[in-house]
Every structure is written in C-alpha cells, then in structure tokens.
Amino acid sequence: MLTWKEVINFSVKGNPIPDQRVEKTEAEWKALLTPEQYRITRLKGTERPHSGALCSIHEAGKYNCICCETPLFDSTIKFESGTGWPSFTQPIKENAIKYERDTAFGMVRVEVMCNTCDAHLGHVFPDGPEPSGLRYCINSESMQLEKGVVNEN
C-alpha cells in the first residue's frame, strides 16, 4: 500500500518504471480524443467539480486511462470525498501512476499522470481515508470505466 511519503519520494526522486510506454504525436492524440479529453489529459486541464460522468458512479469495474486504456484504479478503492471529482485511495498497481510536483496556482501539489502515456489525471492529497490516507482526485474525462472487471493484480 502506497503512503504519502512514498508518493513524495516518487515525485522527487523518480517514478516507478511502467510496464509499457505509449507515445503518440499531438495530431494522433487530437484524432483519438474528444476536445475536452484532449484539453484535460494532454494540456493538464481540469473539469468543473460535480460535472464529471464518473463522479457518482459506484459500479464494479476498473477505471482505465482514456488515452491508452491502462488500468489505473479499481472500483473497490473508490470513495465519496465530497470534492466533486472521482476519488480513490490507491492506484491499481504501484507503477500505474506517475507523480510530479505541481506549483501552479500559487500552491504546491502532486500531479498524477498515467505512467504509460503521461496523460494528466488530476492530483493526489494526504487527506484521504485510512489506511493509506491518500486521496487521488481524478478528472472523469481522463478515465473510462470497464464495468464488471475485477482487479487481477
């Protein structure tokens, strides 16, 4: 189980190696994604709180990257944070997520990205529920729910 200390270490000292890499040109990403998905995942945007389609969904399944279909989160670790974005306590695998220090908007945060294709997902915070204490705050537009699929890792 990842802890806040490990998240900070990844953001400072380097991220875990992904199982594979997916790289495309900007033109290929634009052709693959909707304009809103492109704005959020490739340009590091965010959706308005409580506007995402995956906010209030609690069906069993895996949440995969919208860009490369890499499994990111499992529905069993999704929780209602009240923030307006889908929230999770852990990634599906330690190396599924990439972490970077983010100093935009006059604050220090930890940005989370798909470690396979570098898609911007959202941010992680140390104010989640126990036992991890982590809250991965993720844009709905960055993910797709693969319903009924159970984490096999």
Do 42 and 120 meet the contact criterion of CB atoms below 8 Å apart? yes
Which of these is catalytic: 65, 68, 114, 137? 137
Give just the sign of the alpha carbon dihedral 85, 124, 37, 63.
negative
> CA-CA distance, 121 to 118, in Å (whole number)?
9
> CA-CA distance, 8 to 14, in Å (whole number)?
10
Annotated catalytic residue 117: no
Q: Which two tokens stand for residue 151?
A: 């984490």
In the Cβ-directed half-sphere of 81, how many Cα atoms lie within 13 Å? Answer: 25
Tally Cβ neighbours within 10 Å of residue 124: 27
Q: Which residues are catalytic?
A: 137
